[in-house]
Amino acid sequence: MFKSQGPVGLKRFSTAEATVAAAGKMREKTLTMETLNPHVKAVEYAVRGPIVTKAGEIERDLQEGGKQPFTEVIKANIGDAHAMGQQPITFLRQVVALCTFPELLDSPTFPEDAKKRARRILQGCGGTSLGSYTASQGVDFIRQDVASYIEQRDHGVPADWENVYLTTGASDGISILRMLVSGQGSSRTGVMIPIPQYPLYSAAITEMEAVQVNYYLDEDNCWALDINELHRAYQAAKQHCQPRVLCIINPGNPTGQVQSRKCIEEVLHFAYEENLFVMSDEVYQDNVYSPDCEFHSFKKVLYEMGPEYFNSVELASFHSTSKGYTGECGFRGGYMEVLNLDPDVRAQLIKLRSVQLCPPVSGQAAMDVIVNSPHPEEPSYARFHEEKNAVLGALAEKAKMTEQILNGVPGIRCNPVQGAMYAFPQILLPPKAVEEAKALGMHPDMLYCLRLLEETGICLVPGSGFGQREGTFHFRMTILPPKEKLKVLLDKVRDFHIKFLKEYATLEEQLR
Amino acid sequence: MFKSQGPVGLKRFSTAEATVAAAGKMREKTLTMETLNPHVKAVEYAVRGPIVTKAGEIERDLQEGGKQPFTEVIKANIGDAHAMGQQPITFLRQVVALCTFPELLDSPTFPEDAKKRARRILQGCGGTSLGSYTASQGVDFIRQDVASYIEQRDHGVPADWENVYLTTGASDGISILRMLVSGQGSSRTGVMIPIPQYPLYSAAITEMEAVQVNYYLDEDNCWALDINELHRAYQAAKQHCQPRVLCIINPGNPTGQVQSRKCIEEVLHFAYEENLFVMSDEVYQDNVYSPDCEFHSFKKVLYEMGPEYFNSVELASFHSTSKGYTGECGFRGGYMEVLNLDPDVRAQLIKLRSVQLCPPVSGQAAMDVIVNSPHPEEPSYARFHEEKNAVLGALAEKAKMTEQILNGVPGIRCNPVQGAMYAFPQILLPPKAVEEAKALGMHPDMLYCLRLLEETGICLVPGSGFGQREGTFHFRMTILPPKEKLKVLLDKVRDFHIKFLKEYATLEEQLR
């Protein structure tokens, strides 16, 4: 492992300054890097890490007329659809605007189905206002709508709305992990996460002082989850911790794979046998592009495995307004469904969530539109589906294009982007580049991404921020930029990569 | 101390059920009360505790035609203004609705100043959409608007916008505490909090495994903060922990006092001398009713104390969209300003906040309206101030009425409600009632509030949920219900209290 480097771009502050006290008297700071909570210090979150800070600096420099070898920074570091030009779904925005300013309910410019939903949402709010706190679990009938949606999605598998908790995005839901962290030493809670993973998981584990247990996805097999590897990781971890939680991301982030039904059944069987609490991150459930793949919820598969599974495995699954076809990240809406929670523990969960009062109510409203979209007989049906299909159709096209262009570059190998919003290609880095990075105390793919940013204006996230097999290197890029811009981005990556390989080639290779 | 009782109203679940495994095979649950994170288990949060759960049950029963000795549950347990009928500020909602559905920017029904602000907010959002993530600290120019607002509020004391972080309500901001928790045993971080306190603080301290250090507010002196008591608490705590953080709530929650400038200066001097990180909860800064009181921000006083203070004391202060005259709780908007943070630690704070991506953008927009309200020359100025003054005027009236009626009840003593939204009267409970509660394993004021709820439909929070001096009893009530309803509530409390005193009087007292 390489030592992770300090944040780029915050250099104008120096530690020296920090300890200089005010005139006359030396007064130490209370909160310094020495006294900082060590678990906070240990947290890493690459998606908004040093590369992104640097990209922001370059962007500002460009705005102020600075000279760069490019005219625009293209940010493909984060799944932020609207920032990349994706348009909001009209119906969703209409409903939330109506809820925000109910005088509009009298306006003829809004369709009746949007008004109907807005009135219903407001009826569920204290004082019929979006400005009231809701129950900490969210508005009751929105939870009921979510349950109906889940039942429909899962072809009739029953969903109890009291198992549904609305959240502040999926990131907030994942804090349920806190409940599961206990024990000391070798009985400390181990949390199994895929590698590569979305770094929210490793960040939460670090901050909560749980033990991270890595299981590696199979890159040679389209990033599939290999049940043998899961067994291996579990057995190895048992030596030094108590694995109690199994995290799954399906469709995968950053890896873009969609798990097969068979694989999910194996995983659930394993969780059943080993008494693991399953956390299933399914925020990309609407983002499946490959015609050979289908989204199966962990819950549906659990149900199909029979009541001895369905009535016992503790399963929390997560969804969000931020992904799918809506891409409403800024609303911070989401939900989790939690199955088979011990009833006393359920009361504890409600208590814990109460401390933060409630998720943002406009996010709850947005979530309601997603789970209760226009019906065929309603006036907004056609437009809603047209917009939805346009977004998902474009993403599918871009997924294909990304894979094809990247696989055309020597030294880049990209699995099919079956789902989600990311490609996570492997990049072959010449030994000289790896050595140079080591000398700089930097991950080699960080060096690569920094150079890419500085030379082309393209902002990607190094694979090291997500985890990868020792000695392999990757980057994560979103497929969200508009098609033309994505093409430019991919072409630039190709040209950069070829140039990079040449630059770091051995003399022998250069002469070849 | 009395053992706290289990949650009321979740009785339909039994622990027995939880351990019954599915047909055929016994499979233990992973997450039980035994394996639950013990720090999560220890968290208490009275504002949404058992009384509120019970109130919800009674409310549902009434809706379903159940018979109760009253026709309506009146919830005065939580500072939830809109739920109590307070109307939103029109201008704020107009701006947020315009941001949500920008087609309305062409509509002649919206005033130009609202459109201007909405356009500006959208310019600050990626893809000019409220649906994009913002920077984790919030939209830059909204942070700049907050800084200008603070400068104006504090009569010119400089504010650096890079010290401003937008938050998901103030509750989220307070999680900065996590950074300060470190050390083991007698060097573990101690966090000084007022007693009575808003239980978010004790909940956070418990969950983060810090040491709670109580300093008692002076009930006989209008709940003022007594500097000698602060010294006492600090010295006592030094025996078993390292006090590093001092929390202040001003105006007070649940106690409603407004701190004098002199008191604030003493507190800041103390924090300076003892190297404490100050967390100043100022979410009620616009809620000052008593003509003898004025809000002084901790920051302004720190500035006035001179550069040796202003440039060294680490101070985080919190504000929110939820209180003041807007009462927009559901938007989950807020900010914190953090002074004198070590620059390396600042980078850590930004990293930590990045993991949750960003605060809800509609909440950020709402916050922007509060700090950048209509100017005198703008079309919405008159209406905005009319609405604002109506809300604050009504609150001032209700603060006075609450104090007067409660002080007319034998056995109730209520300090003036100088600010915030709560009264926290002391209630004299007969020894027989105290004994009965003890026998039930219940706090005596919990017994009182439960009886009050069951007999009158009024939902208050027992003083034990906020902390109080041993042997004293209180309840917290909001002054938010509309005047007529508040009058009914107070009359019912009076009648109940007199009846309660009679019921539990000794034989001797009854014969008197």
* Two structure tokens written together for A107: 């306006």
Candidates A17, A19, A80; nearest CB to B132: A80
pLDDT at B413 over 90: yes
Task: Determine whether the interchain pair B25/A307 forms a contact, defined as Cβ–Cβ distance below 8 Å.
Answer: no
Residues B343 and B430 in one domain: no
Residues B312 and B431 in one domain: no
Kindly write down the DSSP assignment for every residue of B14-31, as one continuous string: -HHHHHPPPTTS----SS
A485 and A74 Cβ atoms separated by less than 8 Å: yes
- Least confident interval from A308-317, B51-60, B158-167, B266-275: B51-60
User: Is A351 in CB contact (< 8 Å) with chain B?
Assistant: yes
* Two structure tokens written together for A445: 């793919």
First to last CA, chain B: 32
Residues A315 and A214 in one domain: yes
- CA dihedral B149→B155→B160→B164, nearest 10 degrees, is -40
Task: Determine whether the interchain pair A343/B14 forms a contact, defined as Cβ–Cβ distance below 8 Å.
Answer: yes
User: Is A172 in CB contact (< 8 Å) with chain B?
Assistant: yes
Query: At A169, is the secondary structure helix, strand, or coil?
Result: helix
Q: Is residue A351 part of a domain?
A: yes
First to last CA, chain A: 32
Only one residue has tokens 């400005």, namely A131
A65 and A84 Cβ atoms separated by less than 8 Å: no
Render pLDDT for B427-456 as a digit per residue (tens, 0 to 9): 999 999 999 999 999 999 999 999 999 999
* Two structure tokens written together for B183: 């050390």
Task: Determine whether the interchain pair A29/B354 forms a contact, defined as Cβ–Cβ distance below 8 Å.
Answer: no
* Two structure tokens written together for A79: 């799944």
Query: At B164, is the secondary structure helix, strand, or coil?
Result: strand
How high is the pLDDT of residue B1? Answer: 37
Q: What is the DSSP letter of A103?
A: G
Kindly write down the DSSP assignment for every residue of B409-471, as one continuous string: STTEE-----BTTEE--EE---HHHHHHHHHTTS-HHHHHHHHHHHHH-EE-EEGGGT---TT
* Two structure tokens written together for A489: 């981005």
pLDDT at B101 over 50: yes
Residues B392 and B506 in one domain: yes
The CATH number given to whatever domain includes residue A77 is 3.90.1150.10
How high is the pLDDT of residue B507? Answer: 66
Rounded distance between C-alpha atoms, residue A459 and residue A58, angstroms: 11
Residues A291 and A174 in one domain: yes
pLDDT at B510 over 70: no
A468 and A474 Cβ atoms separated by less than 8 Å: yes
Q: Is residue B131 part of a domain?
A: no
Only one residue has tokens 């009886």, namely B451
- Find residues 301-330 of chain A whose CB sits inside 8 Å of chain B: 307-312, 314, 326-330
Residues B394 and B366 in one domain: no
Residues A60 and A147 in one domain: no
- Among B371, B397, B413, the domain boundary falls at B371
Rounded distance between C-alpha atoms, residue B505 and residue B502, angstroms: 5
User: Is B175 in CB contact (< 8 Å) with chain A?
Assistant: no
The CATH number given to whatever domain includes residue A365 is 3.40.640.10
Rounded distance between C-alpha atoms, residue A183 and residue A93, angstroms: 46
Kindly write down the DSSP assignment for every residue of A417-482, as one continuous string: --BTTEE--EE---HHHHHHHHHTTS-HHHHHHHHHHHHH-EE-EEGGGT---TT--BEEEES-S-
Q: Is residue A3 part of a domain?
A: no
Q: Is residue B91 part of a domain?
A: no
Task: Determine whether the interchain pair A272/B182 forms a contact, defined as Cβ–Cβ distance below 8 Å.
Answer: no
Residues A231 and A345 in one domain: yes
- Among B340, B371, B402, the domain boundary falls at B371
Render pLDDT for B33-68 as a digit per residue (tens, 0 to 9): 999 999 988 888 877 778 888 998 999 899 999 999
Residue of B302, B344, B364 to mutate, testing the A interface (most A Cβ within 10 Å of its Cβ): B344
Rounded distance between C-alpha atoms, residue B477 and residue B458, angstroms: 10
* Two structure tokens written together for A400: 């294909």
Give residues with Cβ within 8 angstroms of A451, minimum separation 6.
A496, A500
3-state DSSP percent of chain A in helix, strand and coil, to 5: 50, 10, 40
Q: Give the closest residue to A228 by CA, choosing from A193, A280, A270, A274.
A: A270
Candidates A18, A31, A354; nearest CB to B179: A31
Q: Give the closest residue to B295 by CA, choosing from B276, B317, B271.
A: B317
How high is the pLDDT of residue B23? Answer: 43
Averaged confidence pLDDT in chain B: 92
User: Is B69 in CB contact (< 8 Å) with chain A?
Assistant: no
Amino acid at A427: I
Q: Is residue A8 part of a domain?
A: no
Candidates A130, A172, A183; nearest CB to B330: A130
Task: Determine whether the interchain pair A275/B134 forms a contact, defined as Cβ–Cβ distance below 8 Å.
Answer: no
Q: Is residue A5 part of a domain?
A: no
Residue B281's DSSP bridge partners are B249, B318
Rounded distance between C-alpha atoms, residue B374 and residue B91, angstroms: 8
Q: What's the mean pLDDT in B324-345?
A: 96
Query: At A30, is the secondary structure helix, strand, or coil?
Result: coil
How high is the pLDDT of residue A48? Answer: 72
* Two structure tokens written together for B133: 């993530």
Rounded distance between C-alpha atoms, residue A166 and residue B147, angstroms: 33
- Among A344, A371, A398, the domain boundary falls at A371
Query: At B318, is the secondary structure helix, strand, or coil?
Result: strand
Q: Give the closest residue to B44 by CA, choosing from B197, B271, B272, B264.
A: B197
Give residues with Cβ within 8 angstroms of B366, minimum separation 6.
B92, B95, B96, B321, B326, B328, B331, B333
Helix axes A90-100, A361-371, angle to 10 degrees: 140
Task: Residue A414: count other Cβ atoms within 10 Å of its Cβ.
Answer: 21
Rounded distance between C-alpha atoms, residue A452 and residue A477, angstroms: 12
Only one residue has tokens 């969609």, namely A258
A276 and A270 Cβ atoms separated by less than 8 Å: yes
* Two structure tokens written together for B382: 């008159």
Indicate the burial class of A22 (C-beta count within 10 angstroms; 0-12, 13-18, 19 or more).
Answer: middle
Residues B54 and B153 in one domain: no
Task: Determine whether the interchain pair B30/A204 forms a contact, defined as Cβ–Cβ distance below 8 Å.
Answer: no
- Find residues 202-261 of chain A whose CB sits inside 8 Å of chain B: 203-204, 207, 244-245
Strand order in the sheet with B422-423: B422-423, B475-478, B461-462
Amino acid at B214: N
Rounded distance between C-alpha atoms, residue A411 and residue B407, angstroms: 81
Candidates A40, A275, A328; nearest CB to B348: A40
Amino acid at A364: Q
Q: Is residue A109 part of a domain?
A: no
ipTM over 0.90: yes
Give residues with Cβ within 8 angstroms of A137, minimum separation 6.
A143, A164, A165, A166, A350, A353
Q: Which helix (H) or strand (E) holds A349?
A: helix A343-354
How high is the pLDDT of residue B26? Answer: 66
Q: Give the closest residue to A432 by CA, choosing from A363, A360, A343, A500.
A: A500
Residues B216 and B318 in one domain: yes
Q: Give the closest residue to A129 by CA, choosing from A138, A137, A119, A140.
A: A119
User: Is B512 in CB contact (< 8 Å) with chain A?
Assistant: no
Residues A498 and A451 in one domain: yes
Q: Give the closest residue to B349 by CA, choosing from B281, B274, B277.
A: B277
* Pairing status of strand B74-75 against strand B458-459: parallel
Rounded distance between C-alpha atoms, residue B309 and residue B302, angstroms: 6
Candidates B44, B308, B346; nearest CB to A24: B308
Residues B183 and B238 in one domain: yes
Residue B191's DSSP bridge partners are B212, B245
- What's the full length of chain B, in residues? 512
Candidates B19, B127, B326; nearest CB to A82: B127
- A277-A279-A282 Cα angle (round to 5): 155
pLDDT by residue, tens only, chain A of 512 residues: 344 443 343 333 333 343 443 444 567 899 999 999 999 888 888 777 788 889 989 988 999 999 999 999 999 998 999 999 999 999 999 999 999 999 999 999 999 999 999 999 999 999 999 999 999 999 999 999 999 999 999 999 999 999 999 999 998 999 999 999 999 999 999 999 999 999 999 999 999 999 999 999 999 999 999 999 999 999 999 999 999 999 999 999 999 999 999 999 999 999 999 999 999 999 999 999 999 999 999 999 999 999 999 999 999 999 999 999 999 999 999 999 999 999 999 999 999 998 888 999 999 999 999 999 999 999 999 999 999 999 999 999 999 999 999 999 999 999 999 999 999 999 999 999 999 999 999 999 999 999 999 999 999 999 999 999 999 999 999 999 999 999 999 999 999 999 999 999 876 776 66
Rounded distance between C-alpha atoms, residue A179 and residue A176, angstroms: 6
For residue A443, the distance in angstroms to the closest alpha carbon of chain B comes to: 19
Task: Determine whether the interchain pair A82/B17 forms a contact, defined as Cβ–Cβ distance below 8 Å.
Answer: no
Residue A413's DSSP bridge partners are A426
Rounded distance between C-alpha atoms, residue A462 and residue A472, angstroms: 11
Q: Is residue B251 part of a domain?
A: yes
Q: Give the closest residue to A279 by CA, choosing from A156, A197, A348.
A: A197
Q: What's the mean pLDDT in B170-190?
A: 94
Q: Which residue would you say has higher pLDDT here, A171 or B426?
A: B426
Candidates B169, B179, B277; nearest CB to A37: B179
Query: At A293, is the secondary structure helix, strand, or coil?
Result: coil
Rounded distance between C-alpha atoms, residue A78 and residue A480, angstroms: 9
Domain count, chain A: 2
How far, rounded to the nearest angstrom, does the alpha carbon of residue B199 sit from its chain's CA centroid? 8
Range of the domain at B398: 15-84+388-511
User: Is A171 in CB contact (< 8 Å) with chain B?
Assistant: yes
Q: What is the DSSP letter of B66?
A: -
* Two structure tokens written together for B506: 């000794």
